[in-house]
Amino acid sequence: MTRFLRASILTGGLWVAVPGPAMAAPLDEVTFGTNWIAQAEHGGYYQAVADGTFEKYGLKVTIVPGGPRAANRMLMTVGKLDFYMGGSLIQAFSAVEKDIPTVVVAAHFQKDPQVLLSHPGQGLDRFEDLKTSSDLLLSKDGVATFFQWMKAEYGFRDEQVKPFGFNPAPFIANAKAVQQGYVTAEPLTIAKAAGFTPNVFLLADFGFSTYSTTVETRREVVETNPDLVQRFVDASSIGWHHYLYGDNAAANALIKRDNPEMTDELLAYSVARMKEYGIVDSGDASRLGIGAMTDARMKDFFDKMVKAGLFKADLDSRKAYTLQFVNKGVGRDLPK
């Protein structure tokens, strides 16, 4: 963002204003907390920092990485961070239920990356076959969220579940086991460690219709500074386009700075899977722009969560989000 000074010159007896030298306007400083350590799944935001997109929109953005001991969602809620990268919409609906004044303003993942993995050739090659496994390795959070949908929608059973400690060794050792993971990471980890490519079942492709990697902020920010919110949403969406389809080397360097254990191999794998599965750029985003959301999609997922027993039907789910800042076709004219 720039401001242009205007000088006056005398022409034909009249003073006429003409454009003068550009002077950079002060940038609005913004903090954005992610929900995990830096990785390709955060790439669009790092890209917008690295290639100057945020700055073009008048923003100086500091990304605050999350992690197992971080509390970025709470910090956003109490005003210590301006924006937060949410996960599934379950968190957003829960905020409404608890009367927490936060709101989703964009959804940069059209599909949640959550997958279930199984060994090939073990009678577990279709999603429906997974109901026959006695060893579903799921985290506590997974059991409390997407597994409740699996039970309501497909008839999975509690007695199938075994604790998952985010270590692939038990899955690799047990050919009849099924493990949760992200489509952007765990298939590669298992292939490298075990020497076989697991079956991959993306829950989004079987009806788990939540948006993911949302942008959340406090309702007061939406009401008092909508221009700031709009600029952050637009710049982030363009950052995601550039990260997927442009030169993302500088963004990846920033990711590795914040997460030194990250590898170029995993970054490249994650980007390829996001593109292959349409995690960011598919569905409504294909016509409305990256970050798109619709009332119909929100209602569809909320109704499924009511059926799964996570929320009561009379909860006003519309309070969880706003379409004010999305669906404007931002970035649709950019080359792929």
| 3-state secondary structure at position 185 | coil
Residues 6+ apart with CB under 8 A from 305: 90, 93, 148, 149, 311
Whole-structure pTM value: 0.91
| Bridge-based pairing state of the strands 114-118 and 28-33 | unpaired
What does the alpha-carbon distance between residue 275 and residue 188 come to, in Å, rounded to a whole number?
16
d(CA 127, CA 117): 10
Residue 6 and residue 242: Cα distance in Å, rounded?
34
Whole-angstrom Cα distance, residue 31 to residue 29?
7
Q: Are 243 and 258 in contact (CB under 8 A)?
A: no
In this structure, the number of other CB atoms found within 10 A of the CB of residue 53 comes to 23
3-state secondary structure of 232: helix
Contact yes or no for 179/187 (Cβ under 8 A): no
- Tell me how far apart the alpha carbons of residues 174 and 141 are, in angstroms, rounded to a whole number: 22
Runs of H (alpha helix) within 136-178: 140-144, 146-154, 169-173
Total Cβ atoms within 10 A of residue 55: 16
CA dihedral (15, 20, 23, 28) in degrees, to 10, reads: 60
Question: How much is the pLDDT for 25?
Answer: 79
The burial of 11, by beta-carbon neighbours within 10 Å (0-12 exposed, 13-18 middle, 19 or more buried), is given as: exposed
From first to last of its 336 residues, what are the pLDDT tens digits of the chain?
333 333 333 434 444 444 444 456 799 999 999 999 999 999 999 999 999 999 999 999 999 999 988 999 999 999 999 999 999 999 999 999 999 999 999 999 999 999 999 999 999 999 999 999 999 999 999 999 999 999 999 999 999 999 999 999 999 999 999 999 999 999 999 999 999 999 999 999 999 999 999 999 999 999 999 999 999 999 999 999 999 999 999 999 999 999 999 999 999 999 999 999 999 999 999 999 999 999 999 999 999 999 999 999 999 999 999 999 999 999 999 999
Asked whether 198 and 134 are in contact (CB, 8 A), the reply is no
